[in-house]
Structure 1
């Protein structure tokens, strides 16, 4: 077992389930001290993690977290901005409320979290944003979600340009379909969910959904010194769905 993160402190938002939990566990297995965030009231016991209550859309909470870390003299070596939401609606049915909630969580929250953490980023720190291949494909009913994820791809470039002088870099990992609890939150009944999952799987050249651990491995690669020459870019991990 390699230990690329021994003595390092990392932050994973939305780190108590799915891709976030898999990534937090992977960092922990390689020696990192891991801080994970979870929505207030949705926290779960996570052995060995430092748990912080934070809603991804809560700008004031993000600023409080940054101030708390700064006051304690702590620095972050890696940040995985993973927490987000996915609700789909057609152009005809989409509401302004859905737009606001999605962008507040997926884009605005990410931007102001990074702003709040900027003073506590260690030299050489890596920030990885959790994107989505929905930003690259024209999937019906996903316009709002896809647009919020496309914003993260842009942020990886512009924020890298701003943070490079202090030695930090930003990249994106964009997963394709991954077997996580998120699919159970799309509002479908069990039978419809099975049908939708089968339809999606048929579009993946590898013929299967990805695993949270596979995405976590990419996040750790982007967070490690071995990827120090990768800046402001996007790695797509989708089993070939958007590529072939």
Structure 2
């Protein structure tokens, strides 16, 4: 029997990267999974790859009506939520002197506002003793140049994990954060600077990592499963860094 047998999971940003790998792993462990994504073609492909244990709901976490529609779909199916992985997010780049209002609106809207209202709107459907996992980033605990706005938005989400762990403890709901390090995803490839190949960029990113490589999405999904399952039943309020040791050594 799988670690999530008979449970219901919701994964935002689940059509690719870490979100897809996590949705797939949750389904393989016995969960029925609802996943979201903004692109219809990518979302349909993700659902097809996962199979009969998945439903895709197209939407954007920055659009509150889309979030309402997501949870209305779960409710209409007569289901309640045991695992919520608020994974959807986006990276912004730019030094202090270059940050624009548009950059600020994008980073805070997608990473902070999106996470906040995803969890808030899920509350009526969350079962007691459910697990909430928030996607943060190792950058939130570092001072890496050029990603200050992104790092700040993810650090804010980490703060919310602490607060919500306290606010929801009376229902036995655990709230934890998953902080991935650099991972082989479409987002990492898209961040490749001009003049470099994705392979060269990955090698550059991996160079300071103690384990000498970037993570695979499946490794992040394994950590998400740990936080989602009873294997972490006495853990709440933490931020789990899955980063090859870069923030620890």
Q: What is the TM-score with the length of structure 1 in the denominator?
A: 0.94
Q: 1:128 to 1:91 in 2, by over 3 A?
A: same
Q: Are 1:56 and 1:106, in contact at CA under 8 Å, matched by a contact in 2?
A: no
Gaps of 5+ in 1: none
The aligned residue for residue 8 of structure 1 is 7
Q: 1:28 to 1:69 in 2, by over 3 A?
A: closer
Match of 1:159 among 146, 157, 164: 164
Q: Are 1:70 and 1:119, in contact at CA under 8 Å, matched by a contact in 2?
A: no
Considering only aligned residues, what root-mean-square deviation do their CA atoms show, in Å? 1.6
* d(CA) in 1 for partners of 2:88, 2:66: 14
Q: Aligned with 1:171: secondary structure?
A: strand
Q: What displacement does 1:56 show?
A: 2.0
- For 1:183-198, list aligned pairs within 5 A: 183-186=188-191, 188-189=193-194, 191=196, 193-198=198-203
How many residues were matched structurally? 243
The aligned residue for residue 21 of structure 1 is 20
The aligned residue for residue 30 of structure 1 is 29
Q: 1:8 to 1:216 in 2, by over 3 A?
A: same
Match of 2:235 among 230, 239, 242: 230
Q: What displacement does 1:138 show?
A: 1.0
Q: What displacement does 1:5 show?
A: 1.0
Q: What displacement does 1:190 show?
A: 5.8
Q: Aligned with 1:124: secondary structure?
A: strand
Q: What displacement does 1:187 show?
A: 6.2
Q: Are 1:102 and 1:148, in contact at CA under 8 Å, matched by a contact in 2?
A: yes
Deviations 1:160-209 (A, max 9, x none): 11112222111001011111110122263362655443322111010011
Q: Aligned with 2:144: secondary structure?
A: coil
Which is worse superposed, 54-63 or 172-181? 54-63
Q: What is the TM-score with the length of structure 2 in the denominator?
A: 0.92
Q: Aligned with 1:11: secondary structure?
A: strand
* d(CA) in 2 for partners of 1:164, 1:67: 25
The aligned residue for residue 105 of structure 1 is 110
Deviations 1:99-137 (A, max 9, x none): 111111001011011010001001110011111100011
Q: Are 2:182 and 2:188, in contact at CA under 8 Å, matched by a contact in 1?
A: no
Q: Aligned with 2:133: secondary structure?
A: strand
Q: What displacement does 1:10 show?
A: 0.4
